[in-house]
Amino acid sequence: MKEFAITPQKQSNFSQWYLEIIKEADLAEHSPVRGCMIIKPHGYGIWEKIQEILDKKLKETDHENVYFPLLIPLKFIEKESNHIKGFAKECAVVTHHKLKNIDGKLVPDSPLEEPFIIRPTSETIIGNFYSSCVKSYRDLPIKINQWSNVMRWELRPRLFLRTSEFLWQEGHTIHETQFEAKAHTQTMLDLYSNFIENYLAIPVFKGLKTPDERFPGALETYCLEAQMQDGKALQAATSHFLGQNFSKAFNISFLNRNGQKEFAWTTSWGISTRLIGAIIMSHSDNNGLILPPLIAPKQVVLIPILKQKNLNDKIISLCKKIKTILLEHSISSFIDQKDENGGEKVWKNIKKGIPVRIEIGPIELQKHNVSVSCRTWDPLKKIELPIVRLPDNILLLLKNIQKDLFQNALSRTIKQTISIYSLNDFHNFFSNNAGFAISFWHPNANNHPLFAKYKVSIRCILLSSQHEGICPFSKQKTYNKILIAKAY
RNA sequence: CGGAAUAUAGCUCAGUUUGGUAGAGCGCUUGGUUCGGGAUCAAGAGGUCGCAGGUUCAAAUCCUGUUAUUCCGACCA
């Protein structure tokens, strides 16, 4: 037996380990198109769970789903100057509308009078539409959401973390007042952090992006930053307060309660398939993927052990019965009936990160027991559970796995996060450690050369800071604290 | 988009220096013995060597171009 299922181990080569997890857990593959991935059933199943849970939360908070076109007229992007600056460099452009056959080769034909871009985000096309819908304060607020794909031409793609095409959810809201819009930006940030911590079991820091890292066209960009097992930061969600920038660019105006014309206040916010990368890099080990039960497409795998032909039918029907009983308790499961060697089958399910494994063979049949193992345990450890009250016990195990994964990720994050108060601390920490440093910071502080030296950046200005201190970069008094880290 | 490395069977790789009939292990198929921790024996299938040109009697091997992947940088969610 191999010592570990995954080679290389995460301690020796984290990025290769990450790619190996994706391969061994059968989540996704490269496609013939550079930067675009094929998301396979197990990987897409995780995305569907994310969609299912988040979609419900969005609807509970009075958002409605819509769909806008993939193609956006070029002139829309030109209307907001910061927006152009941010996205012009990474837009795929559609310039022709048919193909011509020349000596067996197809070449683009019939240029479009006005080219389209493939959406990198939809603020512009949505803004354009709502300019004609919004007439009165009575029309507001408008709270919509879109599940879609977007394209941002990437120079260095990585599966799930940075692909040219990715799947996401983009919410857009239009409000009567600045106060309401700002509050909504915060509400969505909170909704995301609850979702990511409680379902994906990933602890996050809430923060505000510095002007350099802001969404192009936003007045404020809020974010959630999570620490991966290698100590690097991954932005897990964003929420933007767009002020009146887009409403002015697209003329979203209304008559207010005093009968005066006013520009609306807008927000946008999103999460993407990148979260799947965050799940992998937060929880997985050298035996493969580990999925938090609340996000696992299948929470339980039932493995029939077919040794004696006369008992096989009984074992299979017991598996089916247990599957039904589990489903009645909202536990998703599947029977792995593939004709494979038992050990190999077990390892495949370990690598895929299925939270709970149940084995049922002649012994279990006789004892009215099942053998149960959790993905977070040693692969060899098994316990016996009676079939009566099985769902309650499984629910408890799933709950414990979910809790343990969050606790592990949290204690690791805490362990790899320190407060620094001087340039010397900065130097000492990053020359020896991977992780997060928290420091006082004054907005007037210049970009200090230490950031470049250690290839770290300001991930965000933390929302939680309350006390006054001295910024080590500018020596000025400040209430701001920043999170400093290497970033994905 | 700059720098470096790689591309040969489903996977991991040898063969390239010195041009001469395409190799191994694992996996796959079939049959046997097995099966409660990545089994084993036997037989078999499977590749115009990333792609396009060029040199040559002859190219996986030499030359030019190109594409993809991995890592580093710049850029970004």
pLDDT digits (tens, 9 = 90+) for A298-323: 999 999 998 878 888 899 999 999 99
Which nucleotide comes closest to A345 if you measure CA to C1'?
B38
Domains of chain A: 14-67+129-283 (3.30.930.10), 293-402 (3.40.50.800), 416-485 (3.30.110.30)
Bridge partners, A105 (sequence order)? A102
Q: Percent of chain A scored above 70 by pLDDT?
A: 100
The chain-wide mean pLDDT, for chain A, equals: 94
pLDDT tens-place string over residues A465-478:
789 999 999 999 99
- As a rounded value in angstroms, the CA-to-C1' distance for A456 and B70 is 23
Query: Given this model, what pLDDT does residue A308 score?
Result: 79
- Name the DSSP letter for residue A90: G
pLDDT at A2 over 70: no
Q: What is the mean pLDDT of residues A424-429?
A: 95
pLDDT tens-place string over residues A341-365:
888 899 999 999 999 999 999 999 9
pLDDT tens-place string over residues A54-91:
999 999 999 999 999 999 999 998 898 888 888 988 99
Q: What is the mean pLDDT of residues A289-293?
A: 97
Q: What is the mean pLDDT of residues A133-162?
A: 96
Which nucleotide comes closest to A371 if you measure CA to C1'?
B36
- As a rounded value in angstroms, the CA-to-C1' distance for A155 and B76 is 9
CB A96 within 8 A of CB A111: yes
pLDDT at A183 over 60: yes
Helix (H) or strand (E) segment spanning residue A65:
strand A64-65
Distance in angstroms (rounded) separating the CA atoms of residues A11 and A27: 22
Helix (H) or strand (E) segment spanning residue A408:
helix A390-415
- As a rounded value in angstroms, the CA-to-C1' distance for A27 and B28 is 22
Which nucleotide comes closest to A346 if you measure CA to C1'?
B37
Which structure tokens are listed for A488? 């994905």
Q: What is the mean pLDDT of residues A175-182?
A: 98
Nucleotides of B under 7 A from a protein CB: 1-2, 34-39, 67-77
Query: Given this model, what pLDDT does residue A216 score?
Result: 93
pLDDT tens-place string over residues A236-257:
999 999 999 999 999 999 999 9
Which residue has the closest alpha carbon to B74 C1'? A155
- As a rounded value in angstroms, the CA-to-C1' distance for A7 and B24 is 21
| E-state strands within A396-449 | 417-420, 436-440
Which nucleotide comes closest to A344 if you measure CA to C1'?
B38
Distance set, CA A343 to CA A303, A307, A367, A464 (Å)? 11, 13, 22, 49
Question: How many other β-carbons are positioned within 10 Å of the β-carbon of residue A98?
Answer: 8
Which nucleotide comes closest to A365 if you measure CA to C1'?
B36
CB crowding A422-457: b at 16 or more within 10 Å, else e: eeeebeebbeeebbbbbbbbbeebeeeeeeeebebb
pLDDT tens-place string over residues A385-424:
999 999 999 999 999 999 999 999 999 999 999 999 999 9
CB A470 within 8 A of CB A441: no
Helix (H) or strand (E) segment spanning residue A348:
helix A342-351
- As a rounded value in angstroms, the CA-to-C1' distance for A106 and B56 is 34
The complex's ipTM works out to: 0.91
- Residue whose token pair is 């079991």: A201
- Residue whose token pair is 């004609």: A132
Which nucleotide comes closest to A272 if you measure CA to C1'?
B77
- As a rounded value in angstroms, the CA-to-C1' distance for A106 and B53 is 21
Positive or negative torsion for Cα A399, A402, A407, A408: positive
Distance set, CA A259 to CA A136, A254, A256, A477 (Å)? 9, 9, 5, 45
* Model confidence band, residue A1 (pLDDT cutoffs 50, 70, 90): very low
Closest CA to A189 of A224, A160, A220, A165: A224
- Residue whose token pair is 């009146």: A244
Which residue has the closest alpha carbon to B2 C1'? A155
Which nucleotide comes closest to A452 if you measure CA to C1'?
B73
Q: What is the mean pLDDT of residues A440-460?
A: 92
- As a rounded value in angstroms, the CA-to-C1' distance for A275 and B28 is 35
- As a rounded value in angstroms, the CA-to-C1' distance for A95 and B49 is 38
Which residue has the closest alpha carbon to B34 C1'? A341
pLDDT at A480 over 70: yes
- As a rounded value in angstroms, the CA-to-C1' distance for A281 and B16 is 39
| Residue A239 neighbours by CB under 8 Å, 6+ apart | A185, A186, A188, A189, A192, A221, A222, A223, A267, A268, A269
| Residue A211 neighbours by CB under 8 Å, 6+ apart | none
